[in-house]
Structure 1
Amino acid sequence: MPVSDRLKFTAQTVDGQSFSGESLAGKKVVLWFWAPWCPKCRAEAPRVAAAARAATGKVTFVGVAAQDALPAMQKFITDYKVSGFTHLADLDAAIWTRFGVTQQPAYAFISPDGKVDVVKQQLSESALTDRVTALTAA
């Protein structure tokens, strides 16, 4: 199966593990781009956590944190209870750049065929649910 060029990256997770973007190829994926100090990210964290829980086994959620240091990222994950899925420490914003993300929060919805739909704005609970549901049906 061909791998989208956007998934040809390696990164460290917030908890220090190595992560390959290529491991997401062929899967239904939601990338959530966030920053620890961002009020909108804090507000939507419970919605993202709930959507990830609801889609367990169907859609892979991955957080992509940037614009801050590792301890702030770790504290955000704990404080906002989003530890149910993997978070990448995009300390140099290389993954953000790869997906054309210039502000947070943002999302990339990736279908198994490699099609990527980037949304550069905060999503309401219903909008996030609708997009995840559409991805699940893909």
Structure 2
Amino acid sequence: MRKLLAVLVLFSLAACGTTAKATPAAPATGVLSFTGTTLDGKQFDAATLAGKPALLWFWAPWCATCAGQASSVQEIQQEYAGKLGVLGVAGLGSNAEMHEFVSDLEIPDVRTLDDQAGAVWRKFGITQQSTYVLVDAAGKVVTSSYLDSVDLPAKVKTLVG
């Protein structure tokens, strides 16, 4: 035990005198630097959303509020196709439940990640379902919160311009 403690102390002291090299700032698209797997098991790279505004919708398959938002997200996807990247990020449920949610609520146009492990949720600091993250064309998060059916379309319209 003493040897282990001595080794840890030596490593700590050795690190004290070093200066960390400055790392370059992440590019503006750094917010969209993540990958995931779609509900159908295909790989997805969020960098494909870079360069235009994006809407990330964090939802859970058992969430009644999320179910109520589904048609709004589908409409936004259709209205702003090509001008806005829309990505659903499903968590807190199984893949089968996520598929059922998408099918029952008829949102086939909304590309959705299966984030059962919560990696994307953690990246964005999401602590509860029914959260929207809006990212501007420069890759900056401009909104991260719950938005109702009036606020969401208004914020998207402002974001897309």
Unaligned runs of 5+ in 1: none
CA–CA separation in structure 2 for the residues paired with 1:18 and 1:45: 23
Q: Paired residue for 1:93?
A: 118
| The structure with more radius of gyration | 2
Deviations 1:46-69 (A, max 9, x none): 111112211112111100000111
Q: Paired residue for 2:158?
A: 134
Unaligned runs of 5+ in 2: 1-26
Q: Paired residue for 2:127?
A: 102
Deviations 1:22-54 (A, max 9, x none): 222212110000000001001111111112211
- Residue 46 (str. 1) matches residue 46 (str. 2): no
CA–CA separation in structure 1 for the residues paired with 2:28 and 2:98: 29
Distance apart, 1:118 and its partner CA: 3.6
CA–CA separation in structure 2 for the residues paired with 1:91 and 1:97: 11
Given the two structures, how large is their TM-score scaled by the length of structure 1? 0.92
5 Å matches for 1:1-138?
A: 2-121=27-146, 123-137=147-161
Distance apart, 1:3 and its partner CA: 4.6
* Paired residue total: 136
Contact 1:103 1:120 in 2 (8 A): no
CA–CA separation in structure 2 for the residues paired with 1:115 and 1:84: 24
Given the two structures, how large is their TM-score scaled by the length of structure 2? 0.79
Distance apart, 1:13 and its partner CA: 0.3
State the structure with bigger RCO (CA 8 A, min sep 6), 1 or 2: 1
Segments of 4+ in structure 1 off by > 6 A?
none
Contact 2:73 2:110 in 1 (8 A): no
CA–CA separation in structure 2 for the residues paired with 1:4 and 1:32: 18
Root-mean-square deviation over aligned CA pairs: 1.5
CA–CA separation in structure 1 for the residues paired with 2:74 and 2:50: 22
Give the percent of matched residue pairs that are identical in Structure 1 and Structure 2. Answer: 36
Contact 1:3 1:22 in 2 (8 A): no
